[in-house]
Structure 1
C-alpha cells in the first residue's frame, strides 16, 4: 500500500485497533474505523479524532449492507472486530460466537466482492489446550468438549480462519491471518479477564492480586507497539497473502512470578490471593499450562523482532494503571445486548456503521 491508501479498521476503537489506527495515520494513510464500542472505547481514539484523514463510524459488523458500503470505499481492510476476553466469552457465549463468525463472514464476503486486501485477526486460542511449545502455525489444535463455553471462542476463530483460507484458494481473496499471543500495553482494559492490566490495577490500589489456580501456568507477553509493527510489515509484504502468522513474544513467565514482578514494579504492599477457575469463571472451565509462540515464519518473511522487553511491558502497565486510578476512570464491563444497538453519533455523515 502507498502512502495515500485508505484503510478500514473494524474494531479500531479497541486496544490493539486504536494503536494500529495511530500508526497508520502517522504513516500518512487515511483511516476509517468501524466499531460498536462494546469493548472498545471512544477515548482510545482521542489522538486520532482531530486528524482530517480519520473518520469514525459506530455500528456493527453484523450489518452486512453497512459493512459493504465501507469496504467499497476502502483500499484495504484490517478486521479486528470481535467479542474478546475470557470473561466475556464465558458469560455471553452465544452472542460472542455469532459476532465472531457471522461478522467475519460479512467482512470477508464484502472484501472479496470488491477485490480488496484483508488482514484478519485470529488468536492463540486456536491451539486450545495444546501446552507443548513453541507452537508454530501448523501445530495441532487440542480442544475440550463443545459443551464447554471456553472452547466456543477457539472454534469461532477457527471458522474465521477456514473462511479466509477457502476464500483465498477458491475465490482469490487477498487475505492474511494473524494469531495474537497475549498482547499487552496502554489502553488495555482489565474488565474482560486480561491478566496484566488486572494485576497492575490491583497492585497500584494495594488490593490482593487474584491468581487463578496455583499460578504455575506459563505465558509470554508482547508489547502492543511490537504487535502493531508486525501488522504494518505484513500489510506491506505481498508474500503475506494467503498465509497465517503467529505474533507474540517468546520469553516465558509463570503467572505467580508475573504477579510478584508487578507488585515490585508498582512498589505495592499487595498480597497474593488464589482463586479457583470454578470461582472465577464457573464450573467446567478449562485452561492450558503453557502457551509459547513460534514466530519464525513472521521473522523469516519480514525481519520483524520485538523491540520491547517484559520489563517495558510491566512498566507501561503499571503507569497506565496509575493514570486510570488518578483519573478516576471506572472499569468498563460488558453492556447488555440492548445497550449495544447501533447508535447515531457525530455528524450526520457518520451515522450508525461499524464493529468491535
Structure 2
C-alpha cells in the first residue's frame, strides 16, 4: 500500500485530495497547522484507519521530518494564497510558500522520499503576452509576491530533482472552485450578498477575464499527471479552455441566489496590485496525455454557490 503525505490537508483542495486518495486505497498522512484549514473538512478522513493527521507547521523542520517517515510521495498543497493583500505582509509569502517548500524538500531528502507533486499557480506568468499561455511561455516581470514565491518553489524543486534524483511534477493552477471553497471572488460575493442583497461592491470594472477549474477536475488532473509523468521534472498547466468576465460570474451567482443587486464598481482594469486582468492557460500538454475537465466554468461557479448556501458556517470560520 502506497503511503503519501499531503501538506495543507485541511484546506480546500487538500481535504478533497485526501478524500480521493483514501477512496483510491492509499494510506494518507495529513499535515496542516490549521491556520486556514478547517477540521470539519476532515471528518470523513478521520473515520478511515488509513488516515493519520499531524498538526504542525511547515516551518517546524523536526516535526515535518518526523511526519514524513516511510512516505513514498508528497503532495505539497500548503501555501499562503493571499495575493490581494500580499504587499501588506511580504514575509508571509516567503515563509509559507518558498521557505516551507525548501523545508518539505529537505524533509524528503532526509527520509529518502523521491516524488513530489507541487501546487503552483498561473500567477507565475505575470501579465502574459501569449494568450492562451503555455508552460514554455517567456517569463515576464513578476506582478505579485505570491507568484514570485511560487516560482521560487518551482526552482527549488527542479534543483532538488537534479541534485538528489527526485521526481517533481509542478501543476500551475488557474483559480479553483467547488465544494469546501473558502477563498476567492465567489466566496466574497456570496458573503456580501448575504449581508446586503441590495448591493454588491466589485473591485475593478468587472471586465477582468479569468479562467477557473472545478476542484474535482483539478484533483483528477493532479493524480493523472502523477501517474503519467515520466520525466524527472515536469510542469503542467491546469485549467479549462474558456474564460469568463467577472461580470459573467456575478450574473451566474445572482441568478442562483435569485437577486438583482445594484453593482458598485471601484473602477480600473484590475482589483489590486498583482491582479492579472486576463488569465487563460494553454492546457494542451496535459490534454495530450488524456485528461480533460468535466465541468464548464459556469457549472463550477454554480456548484460553489450551492455549497456555500448549504454550509454557511464557512463564512464564520474564515472571519
Scaled to the shorter chain, the TM-score interval is over 0.9
Q: Which residue of 2 aligns with 1:210?
A: 201
Pair 1:10 & 2:3 matched: no
TM-score (normalizing by structure 1): 0.83
Post-superposition offset of 1:234: 1.7
Secondary structure of 2:58 counterpart: coil
Q: Which residue of 1 aligns with 2:44?
A: 47
Whether contact under 8 Å (2:204, 2:271) holds in the other structure is no
Change (3 A) 1:40 1:277: farther
Post-superposition offset of 1:207: 5.2
Pair 1:264 & 2:264 matched: no
Pair 1:230 & 2:234 matched: no
Give the unaligned 5+ runs of structure 1.
Answer: 145-149, 334-356
Post-superposition offset of 1:88: 4.8
Q: Which stretch shows the higher mean deviation, 43-52 or 234-243?
A: 234-243
Secondary structure of 2:241 counterpart: coil
Whether contact under 8 Å (1:35, 1:81) holds in the other structure is yes
Pair 1:174 & 2:167 matched: yes
Whether contact under 8 Å (1:245, 1:295) holds in the other structure is yes
How many residues are paired up? 317
Pair 1:196 & 2:207 matched: no
Pair 1:34 & 2:28 matched: no
Q: Which stretch shows the higher mean deviation, 84-93 or 254-263?
A: 84-93
Choose which of 260, 274, 297 in structure 2 pairs with 1:310.
297
Give a deviation string over 1:107-144, Cα, whole Å, max 9, x none. Answer: 11222341421111111110112253101111122225
What aligned pairs does 1:119-198 form with structure 2 within 5 A after superposition?
119-130=117-128, 132-143=130-141, 151-190=144-183, 194-198=184-188
Choose which of 297, 320, 333 in structure 1 pairs with 2:285.
297
Q: Which residue of 1 aligns with 2:316?
A: 330
Q: Which residue of 2 aligns with 1:80?
A: 77
Change (3 A) 1:331 1:269: farther
Q: Which residue of 2 aligns with 1:56?
A: 53
Secondary structure of 1:188 counterpart: coil
Post-superposition offset of 1:90: 3.5
- Cα distance in 1 for partners of 2:60, 2:284 equals 37
- Cα distance in 2 for partners of 1:261, 1:317 equals 11
TM-score (normalizing by structure 2): 0.92
